[in-house]
Amino acid sequence: MDQKSDQTTGSLQALDGLPGDVNGLAVFLDIDGTLLDIADTPDGISVPLGLPAALARLAARLGGALALVTGRSVATVDRLFPGLSVVINGLHGAEWRDGAGRVFGTGLTDEFSAAKHRLREQAARWPGVIFEDKGAAFAAHYRLAPASEGQVRHLMRALSESVGDGWKLQEGKAVVELRPRGRDKGDALMQTMGHEAFAGRLPLAIGDDVTDEAMFAAANRLGGLSVRVGTDRRDTLAQGRVATPADVRAWIERVAR
């Protein structure tokens, strides 16, 4: 990304791609489709050798102003990147672990647990449809059963209606999820910017999917940068674009040096 500093507002204007250095930035990274290549199944992802160490170097380079902002649960992120001590926002912003290691989130209700159980049972008998349990959220993946998309949507709508107002449907890549209503990735970014290590910096948000648009909007509002990963033509609020997660990983290696 060519990056120019606006002397009047002190903001950075993103023109294309990713910035040449991270001085003065706080970096917010989505995981699936941004840091990691998309796989056929939620468990099929692989974390490239060297990525955890590169993220730790980037966090150090940023004075701790690095956050992961993902639809995965905080517990799953810990399994993917064991020992990486950064702010984690999980479940699309609905649960989070702050810099002091405290975890915040949503409790389950009987109705929500019953809906989760129903999807688990149905998916077990549904070729190619994968159920993912994320604690206070669950997902129905149809990447391996594209012809089932309509039925998956129909069932998830019905389940959503059965759990009340505390949860909402979340669209994603070949997935429909039920996740806690309220705090989204934009709120996550805004709140995280108040942490000591982040204060006084400008946010750079990098993501690939519809859930990341709230984080792009928040970064833009604060005069920061937003970059979308992908080559499709979907409308986006992101100011810049890169093609693949491999580009993001190469950038991290470069700027974290």
Ligand X SMILES: O=P(O)(O)OC[C@H]1O[C@H](O[C@H]2O[C@H](CO)[C@@H](O)[C@H](O)[C@H]2O)[C@H](O)[C@@H](O)[C@@H]1O
Q: What residues line the site for ligand X (CB under 6 A)?
A: 30-33, 38-42, 45, 70-72, 132, 134, 139, 141, 143, 172-175, 177, 209, 211
> Which region among 19-27, 53-61, 91-99, 203-211 touches Mg ion (by CB under 5 A)?
203-211
Comparing CB distances to ligand X, the nearer of 54 and 176 is 176
Q: Cα separation of 137 and 113, whole Å?
A: 10
Contacts 24+ apart (CB under 8 A), 19-25: 19/204, 19/225, 19/255, 20/255, 21/255, 22/58, 22/61, 22/62, 22/204, 22/255, 24/201, 24/202, 25/62, 25/65, 25/201, 25/202, 25/203, 25/204, 25/224, 25/225
Say what angle helices 185-192 and 213-221 make with each other, to 10 degrees.
40
**Of positions 95, 184, 187, 208, contacts Mg ion by CB under 5 A:** 208
Strands 130-133 and 138-141: antiparallel
Residue 173 contact, options Mg ion, ligand X, none, Cβ 5-8 Å cut-off depending on partner type: ligand X
Residue 141 contact, options ligand X, Mg ion, none, Cβ 5-8 Å cut-off depending on partner type: ligand X
Comparing CB distances to Mg ion, the nearer of 34 and 192 is 34
Residue 72 contact, options Mg ion, ligand X, none, Cβ 5-8 Å cut-off depending on partner type: ligand X
Active site residues: 30
Smallest distance from ligand X to CB 84, Å:
14
Residue 46 contact, options ligand X, Mg ion, none, Cβ 5-8 Å cut-off depending on partner type: none
Comparing CB distances to ligand X, the nearer of 3 and 177 is 177
For residue 178, the surrounding DSSP H or E stretch is: strand 175-180
Comparing CB distances to Mg ion, the nearer of 32 and 184 is 32
Comparing CB distances to ligand X, the nearer of 71 and 230 is 71
> Total binding residues for Mg ion by CB under 5 A?
5
Smallest distance from Mg ion to CB 173, Å:
7
| Sequential DSSP letters for 92-104 | GGTEEE-TT--EE
Q: List the 103-104 sheet strands across, edge first.
A: 103-104, 95-97, 87-90, 66-69, 25-29, 202-207, 225-229, 240-242
Q: Does 32 bind Mg ion (CB under 5 A)?
A: yes
Residues that bind Mg ion (CB under 5 A): 30, 32-33, 208-209
